[in-house]
């Protein structure tokens, strides 16, 4: 039996969303088509992958096993496709990923100025896919936020920054110069405790440690919606909180929490000399306090001096 990668991709979307409607939206296909493809995959594998009723969709034991195996399978398939295209003479291209709040313009412009014949792309990643973009070859290098799964990657630490608590405007802590972690006692955390281990040591509402998935929204934008609705608070790197400035939330520095770390990462299988060259530029422009960095723009006459630099695109 030949396993269809397309059906496996469909399965992963449903497994991650645990909702056929949202998964169909994400895949840009009709929900009945998606349902048929999943049923066909279950028939091929002789296993039920989901338990569904009117209120929920859950993975079976077989579905959990397939999800564990499917992600590396799809990553390897994507990486293979990218390598073959490059070997077939696809136009020279170098793609730089970055997380929200990290400004990469100086390093990218300097790289573009050195290599006018190479198309320089930038792509925004997220907490969920920052490693995936490197492992499947969609990005050559990426500015990542720690912690992350480092398997299959090489990392060059760049800098650290303070973390802040994001609270609703008018919250009891808003307007303070700084707070201690203990000041958040009784607040509902809106993120996985692994992201802020120190939070495990302070009291939270009785139901905040239950299995309620809503308290861990995936995207920063979703977290901020819950913060603005007074559903909880979130701790973010200062640059991320600043990047998502909005009038109904505010942030305050947390003085007794470990700083957040930013690094440049690339796949262990990427041996391009351009990676080493870009790493040196990243260190030059970002491995210093912001006040000590020299903008690349000051070294060039105009934006026209950076040929090949493609405007940012958002990860889909």
Rounded to an integer, the average pLDDT of 283-306 is: 56
Does residue 283 have a pLDDT over 80?
A: yes
**How many C-beta atoms surround the C-beta of residue 30 within 10 A?**
10
Q: What domains does the chain contain, in order, with CATH numbers?
A: 5-79 (1.10.10.10), 91-159+260-314 (3.40.190.10), 163-253 (3.40.190.10)
Band (pLDDT 50/70/90 cuts) for residue 85 is low
Rounded to an integer, the average pLDDT of 72-98 is: 73
Check if the beta carbon of residue 182 is closer than 8 Å to that of residue 163: no
Collect all residues with Cβ–Cβ distance below 8 Å to 173 and sequence separation of at least 6: 165, 167, 179, 183, 184, 252
**How many C-beta atoms surround the C-beta of residue 90 within 10 A?**
10
CA distance 141 to 120: 12
Q: What is the DSSP letter of 181?
A: G
What's the pLDDT score for residue 315?
42
Collect all residues with Cβ–Cβ distance below 8 Å to 71 and sequence separation of at least 6: 12
What's the pLDDT score for residue 87?
65
Band (pLDDT 50/70/90 cuts) for residue 227 is very high
Could you tell me the sign of the dihedral formed by the alpha carbons of 94, 99, 100, 106, in that order?
negative
Band (pLDDT 50/70/90 cuts) for residue 197 is confident
Question: Rg of the chain's alpha carbons, rounded to an integer?
Answer: 22
Band (pLDDT 50/70/90 cuts) for residue 111 is very high
CA distance 186 to 184: 6
Does residue 134 have a pLDDT over 70?
A: yes
C-alpha distances out from residue 43 to 1, 3, 47, 253, Å: 11, 11, 7, 54
Q: Is 149 helix (H, G, I), strand (E, B) or coil?
A: coil
pLDDT digits (tens, 9 = 90+) for 22-78: 888 888 888 888 999 999 999 999 999 999 887 889 999 999 999 988 888 887 777
């Amino acid at each position: 039996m030949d396993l269809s990668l397309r059906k496996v991709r469909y399965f992963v979307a449903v497994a991650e969303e645990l909702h056929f409607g949202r998964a169909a939206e994400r895949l840009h296909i009709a929900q009945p088509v998606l349902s048929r493809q999943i049923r066909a995959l279950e028939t091929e594998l002789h296993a039920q992958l989901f338990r569904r009723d009117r209120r929920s969709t859950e993975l079976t034991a077989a579905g959990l096993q397939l999800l564990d195996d499917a992600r590396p399978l799809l990553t390897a398939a994507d990486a293979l496709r990218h390598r073959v295209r490059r070997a077939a003479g696809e136009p020279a291209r170098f793609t730089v990923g970055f997380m929200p709040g990290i400004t990469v313009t100086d390093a990218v412009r300097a790289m573009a100025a050195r290599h006018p014949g190479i198309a320089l792309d930038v792509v925004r990643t997220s907490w969920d896919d920052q490693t995936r973009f490197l492992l499947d070859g969609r990005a050559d290098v990426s500015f990542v936020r720690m912690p992350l799964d480092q398997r299959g990657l090489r990392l060059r630490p760049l800098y650290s920054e303070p973390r802040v608590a994001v609270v609703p405007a008018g919250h009891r802590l808003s307007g303070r110069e700084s707070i201690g972690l203990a000041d958040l006692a009784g607040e509902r955390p809106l993120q996985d405790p692994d992201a802020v281990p120190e939070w495990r040591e302070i009291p939270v509402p009785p139901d905040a440690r239950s299995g309620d998935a809503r308290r861990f929204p995936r995207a920063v934008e979703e977290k901020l919606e819950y913060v603005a609705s007074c559903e909880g608070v979130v701790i973010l790197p200062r640059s991320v909180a600043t990047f998502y400035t909005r009038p109904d939330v505010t942030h305050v520095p947390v003085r007794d929490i470990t700083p957040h770390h930013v690094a440049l990462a690339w796949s262990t299988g990427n041996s391009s000399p351009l990676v080493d060259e870009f790493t040196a530029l990243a260190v030059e422009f970002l491995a210093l306090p912001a006040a000590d960095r020299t903008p690349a723009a000051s070294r060039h006459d105009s934006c026209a001096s950076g040929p090949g630099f493609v405007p940012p695109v958002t990860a889909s």
